[in-house]
Structure 1
Amino acid sequence: MTIGLQRSAAVRSAVLPVTDAGEAEASAARVRNAALFGGLALLTAVIVVLDVMTGNDLRIVPLLVVVPAFVSVFGTIRQTVGVATWIMAVVVTSRLVSGGSFWDLASGVVFTVLACGLGVGSCVLRIRHATEIARLRTAAVALQRQILRPLPVLTGHVVVHGLYAPIEEDRLVGGDIYEVVESPYGTRVIIGDVQGKGIAAIGAGFAALGAFREAANREPTLTGVVDALEDAVVRHNTFSAQTGETERFVTALILGIDDGDRVQAVNCGHLPPRLLHDGAAAPVPLRQTSVPLGMAELSSEPRVAEQLDFPSGATLLVFTDGVTEARNAAGTFYPLDTRLGRWAGSGSREVLDALHADLDAFTGGVRRDDIAVLALRRAPAGSRSPVLAGKGASPRAAQAFGEPHGNTI
């Protein structure tokens, strides 16, 4: 009985916001319709008065047939039909009142009906095209979300929370990638960003992602994993060149984490991570930065792994340039290091929530690039590892995610 009451309360709490939102939208639609048709009535009255003043020498009322065409640019189909019907009624009535020969009346009526019909048809085509474009954009973003691993992730070495906010505009959608793989050689993590924008950019990212998932379990060294990624991006670019697509490179940061207090890193032209520890946030210096994936032939120096500090209780933040290159209305870049200092004493999830909200406030909700951020913390001793935390996770693992024991993540 108690469970039933709790479920009913949950259903009511979920439905009420949706209902309120629907009522608010309906109210806003009524206001827009009232403003539209109020303005239309005023315009009609002005045109009719001017038409009466000019007499039969200059007929102004027939010019109203252009109004449905204007409304079709921004209005709904219902609004355009309503305006077209009103204009046809006004223009045809004016024709009948003004008199004239049968052919004048017939031609005027036919022209009015055709002009209004074209306005309605244009609105239908516009909305159909916009719907199709929106469907394609949503499909691209849904594909990204399905291929990228859901977060948070728990392995035997780290707890990984994440923030992923893709752009849903086809020409701006990027190729941000990330993955966490628990391997026989420790936990391997990648975060990367494909050069360029558009749907085609996703392909190079997926090629690198697939190669990482395989090589992370196969290669005993982190540099071996990176070599496999390089080969995958080169193969993808070879295929792209054969099919007329643009060749692309991928900036990436690849990490190898074991039970120690340090982490291995290979940086392929990516942004350095930030370390949040003891109430302070600071960039992690990377002394060995090599060329991005897909460009190894341009460099004579081999890629090498270096050691970074990652003590227990610290948060290692890795991210793509959608964070650092976010701008406000004045064109100022987002001051990441300054803002991170405010949240250095918070948990991983709190840092990501604060970062997301602050980015939205800073940019006014206008973003020009995907955002991907991973926040890594050492896993509690004795935590279980299936990789995805969920039912059956140990109490320590559940606490690592900030959830009561037994809750599904």
Structure 2
Amino acid sequence: MVRKHQKKLARPVEAIEPPSEVEVVIAVVSVTVLVAALGALSESPVWLLGLLVFLPGAASALCTVRQTRFVFAWTALVVIVAMFLRPGDEAPWLDRILMVLLTLVLGSASVYACHRRISREQETLRLRSTAAAMQRHILRPLPVLTDDVLVDGVYEPVQEDRLVGGDIYDVVVSPWGTRVLIGDVQGKGLPAVGAAFAVIGAFRATAHREPTLTALVDALDASVVQHNSYAAQTGDDERFVTALIVNVDAHEEVQAINCGHVLPQVLQDATVTTPALTSGVPLGLAELAAEPTTVDWFAFPPGATLLLTTDGLTETRAADGAFYPVTESLTQRVSLPSTDLPRALYDDARAFAGEGDQHDDVAILSVRRSPYR
């Protein structure tokens, strides 16, 4: 289970495997024989053989530079033989010369295009490898096991080619228990990732240092305010971050502060309950709050599972505009192991959306209380 989720979070980045040398030779010879056979059966063998000039172009999209050069050389050889060495050929010399020139020009262009394609693929591979390495340091691989809980989950950016999105999560073991963060940065794209970095960095720096959740949330809010001040200097938009911070220790009740985020849900036996939490302002907007940050408590018995999500799940819509029924889906899957629950919910939500597009990142965490605490 651990290996499966680590692969999802930091999946290996590999280049597309080109065909083997043998496969290229077989394909080129087969196409040549087919074209020659069709040419022999038709009244225009020379022009049918001229279709081979497009072989290097096809090779440039799939093969290596060396393989494309081979296809180019083979095609040029076959066309030259067909144009000048075929006995009894009455095609005009000008047509023959033009066909050979066309073959040489298209073949050379194909080799160049193949070289450019491979260069771009290698650059993309390097960028994705860097992004994967960054993600391993930014988003903690799941699952995470502590003395208090087992945390597992699913993280899916809205763009499949982007490894890090605006949804964030983290787990920190502190002297006061295990602290779990889940959040959602306003907006999408790389600008949102900057605010995500700021919150995660502040959480890791202060979660094991601040004895109270209120002090921890104040530090997270300050990190977003500071990030926004830098963003304003560079002309970027200011952002806020909805977040839910939970502290789980040996007691059967846990502490939580909700900063405008999706409410958690507790699964125990065959029941699903939603704790009533005070909804505060998102991180970065504390100055606008009418009241100070408050800590809520709710029951989280041994053996129960706490589900934390972002609005990428709750706001999933079907093609007809209906929202995904999270609570109903949870009730049907309450007996699943906590490690399987996030993926089951995500897959069900995608099936529910059907042809509808995914418009937001999705993060789903299951926090399983140790049954022996």
Q: TM-score band (shorter)?
A: 0.7 to 0.9
Q: TM-score with structure 1 length normalisation? A: 0.69
Q: Which structure 1 residue ranges, 5 or more long, are not aligned?
A: 1-24, 383-409
1:320 counterpart (274, 298, 310): 310
Which residue does 1:385 correspond to in 2?
Answer: none
Q: Cα deviation per residue 1:89-112 (whole Å; 9 max; x = unaligned)?
A: 332223214578988766653442
- In the other structure, the counterpart of 2:63 is 76
Deviation at 1:326? 5.3
Q: Which residue of 2 aligns with 1:93?
A: 81
2:254 match: secondary structure: strand
Residues 230-275 of structure 1: CA deviation (Å, up to 9, x unaligned): 1101211222333344433322111123333222222222211121
Q: How does 1:4-403 map to 2 (within 5 A)?
A: 42=34, 45-46=37-38, 52=44, 62=50, 64-73=52-61, 75-77=62-64, 80-81=68-69, 83-96=71-84, 97=86, 98=89, 108-156=99-147, 158-167=148-157, 169-170=160-161, 173-286=164-277, 288-325=278-315, 334-352=324-342, 354-355=344-345, 358=348, 370-381=361-372
CA contact (8 A) 2:154 2:343 kept: no
C-alpha deviation, 1:147, in angstroms: 3.1
| TM-score normalised by the chain length of structure 2 | 0.75
For structure 2, the residue ranges without an aligned partner over 5 or more in a row are 1-16
Kept in 2, the 8 Å contact 1:166–1:371? The answer is yes
Residues 99 and 105 in structure 1, CA contact (< 8 A), matched pair in contact too? no
Contact map agreement 1:166 1:369 (CA 8 A) in 2: no
Are the equivalent residues in 2 in contact too, given 1:319–1:372 (CA < 8 A)?
A: yes
- How far apart, CA to CA, are the structure 2 residues paired with 1:324 and 1:46? 60
Q: CA deviation at 1:315?
A: 0.8
Shift of 1:208: 0.6
CA RMSD of aligned residues (A): 4.1
The 2-side partners of 1:298 and 1:44 are apart by 78
Task: Give the SS at the match of 1:180.
Answer: strand
Distance in 1 (alpha carbons) for counterparts of 2:130 and 2:59: 30
Aligned to 1:390: none
1:174 offset after TM fit, Å?
0.5
Q: More deviation in 161-170 or 341-350?
A: 161-170
CA contact (8 A) 1:334 1:362 kept: yes
1:334-369: CA deviation from partner (whole Å, max 9, x where unpaired): 5433332233134322434544665676679x9775
The C-alpha deviation readout for 1:264-318, integer Å capped at 9, x for no partner, is 22222221112111212244343x2233222334554443322222222211111
Instruction: Determine the structure 1 residue equivalent to 2:7.
Output: none
State how far apart, in whole Å, the 2-side matches of 1:100 and 1:128 are: 41
**Within 2, Cα distance between the matches of 1:70 and 1:27?**
13
Give the structure 2 partner of residue 389 of structure 1. none
- d(CA) in 2 for partners of 1:334, 1:50: 61
Q: Is the 8 A contact 2:166 2:188 kept in 1?
A: yes
CA distance in 2 between partners of 1:69 and 1:204 (Å): 45
- Structure 1 residue matching 2:263: 3-state secondary structure: coil
Indicate the SS of the match to 2:179. strand
Q: Is the 8 A contact 1:174 1:198 kept in 2?
A: yes
RCO comparison, higher one (Cα < 8 Å, 6+) = 2
Q: Structure 2: how far apart are the matches of 1:301 and 1:37?
A: 78
* CA displacement at 1:122 relative to structure 2: 0.9
* In structure 2, distance between residues paired with 1:39 and 1:326: 48
For 1:31 and 1:330, locate their aligned partners in 2 and report how far apart those are by CA, in whole Å: 47
Post-superposition offset of 1:163:
1.8
SS at match of 2:339: helix
Residue in 1 that maps onto 2:8: none
Alignment partners' CA distance in 1, 2:54 and 2:296: 69
Cα distance per residue 1:57-115 (max 9 Å; x no partner): xx565464344334534x22366445434432332223214578988766653442231
| 2:238 partner letter | E
SS in 1 for 2:307: strand
Letter in 1 for 2:189: G
- Return closer, same or farther for 1:50/1:84 CA change in 2, 3 Å cut-off: farther
For 1:69, the aligned partner's letter is G
* Rounded Cα–Cα distance in structure 1 between residues aligned with 2:321 and 2:43: 51
Q: Aligned partner of 2:334: which letter?
A: A
